[in-house]
Amino acid sequence: MTETPSRPSAPGGSGRVGQVKEITSLSNPVIKDIRALSMKKQRDATGTFLAEGLKLVIDAIDQGWTLRTLIYAKTQRGKDQVETIAARTVARGGLVLEVSEKVLTAITRRDNPQAVIAVFEQRTQPLEAVRPQPEETWIALDRVRDPGNLGTIIRTADAAGASGVILIGDTVDPFSTETVRATMGSVFSVPLARASQADFLAWSNQTGAFVVGSHLKGSVDYRSIDYRQKPVVLLMGNEQAGLTDALAERCSKLARIPQTGRADSLNLAIATGVMLFEARRHLLKLEGPAE
């Protein structure tokens, strides 16, 4: 038997969950649709994406993200946290699936998949809605192609307290499975905006943002810049080509990170992190009592 009728799940957490569909077949049409979320065209068509891990799913729900489908391994049945989020999913009109290990492995394309995964609705904001305030720092990325780089930058933005990430032009999908994994959950905490190059240039001029670009031809040491002047936008370019000429010309400062080794450049995510923490150094304080 590959699928059983909906059944009332065991009580736990906040109470009785409601209806849960049990699926063990990879040919089930719902599972086929979920597996198809590995493709950008399916994510774009449905406006959804896949996220993995119990803690990540709980955090996303707590932050108000819309969960369409909750999927968990049969071994998780009756566990309080799983029953609680299942109940919350059903209460909000979502679908709950209890699946076999084989199905989880196929969905995640991993030999040791997380026991809980979920399909969420995507969330971005139009660039014109972004109004940077004093002491805010935004990161703008021009045609970044590597999902690992993008995910790491989003995670770093979260850690440093940046206000959001602006994706310019043909930047990789922030909701791809690889990117979401690299964010380690920060995709749910960091606002994202998409824009064309022309829209970004118009927006940056309108808002009067202090744009600091990273450029191999930059003549300014990134540590010497006064990042307290205005809302700051750190503008980082494509991994191979860097910034376009139009974007480089818009920058208030073209900065460089001094290097002494044989490497001729830094990884994009590393360079972004170095510059971001410097830009926010005057705003970052260690929490807790001093030792």
In which residue are the tokens 């980082």 written? 236
Question: Is 188 exposed, middle or buried, given 0-12, 13-18 or 19+ CB atoms closer than 10 A?
Answer: buried
Q: Which amino acid is at 87?
A: A
User: Which one of 3.40.50.2300, 3.40.1280.10, 3.60.110.10, 3.40.190.10 gives the CATH number of domain 125-283?
Assistant: 3.40.1280.10
Q: At residue 176, what are phi and psi to the nearest 5 degrees? A: -70, 155
Q: Which two tokens stand for residue 200?
A: 């970004």
Q: If we measure between CA atoms, which residue out of 236, 241, 242 comes closest to residue 274?
A: 236
Q: If we measure between CA atoms, which residue out of 44, 84, 78, 29 comes closest to residue 61?
A: 84
Q: If we measure between CA atoms, which residue out of 211, 254, 250 comes closest to residue 232?
A: 211
The sign of the torsion formed by the CA atoms of 34, 121, 190, 248 equals: positive
**Residue 39 DSSP one-character state:** S
Q: Which amino acid is at 46?
A: T
* CATH code reported for the domain at 3-121: 3.30.1330.30
Domain residue extents for the chain:
3-121, 125-283
> What confidence score (pLDDT) does residue 289 get?
53
Q: At residue 247, what are phi and psi to the nearest 5 degrees? A: -70, -40
Q: If we measure between CA atoms, which residue out of 30, 48, 28 comes closest to residue 38?
A: 48
User: What's the whole-model pTM score?
Assistant: 0.90
For 251, residues 6+ apart whose C-beta sits below 8 A from its C-beta are 211, 212, 213, 215, 235, 243
Gap between the Cα atoms of 58 and 270, Å rounded: 29
**Strand stretches in 113-265, DSSP E:** 116-121, 125-126, 137-142, 164-168, 192-195, 210-214, 220-221, 232-236, 253-256
Find the distance separating the first CA and the last CA of the chain, reported in whole Å: 62
Distances (CA, A) of 280 to 22, 166, 227, 257: 49, 17, 8, 16
For residue 5, the surrounding DSSP H or E stretch is strand 3-8
Question: Is 267 exposed, middle or buried, given 0-12, 13-18 or 19+ CB atoms closer than 10 A?
Answer: middle
**3-121 and 125-283 in the same fold:** no
Question: Each residue's pLDDT tens digit in the chain (291 positions)?
Answer: 344 444 434 333 334 445 789 999 999 999 999 999 999 999 999 999 999 999 999 999 999 999 999 999 999 999 999 999 999 999 999 999 999 999 999 999 988 899 999 999 999 999 999 999 989 999 999 999 999 999 999 999 999 999 999 999 999 999 999 999 999 999 999 999 999 999 999 999 999 999 999 987 788 999 999 999 789 999 999 999 999 999 999 999 999 998 888 887 889 999 999 999 999 999 998 765 555
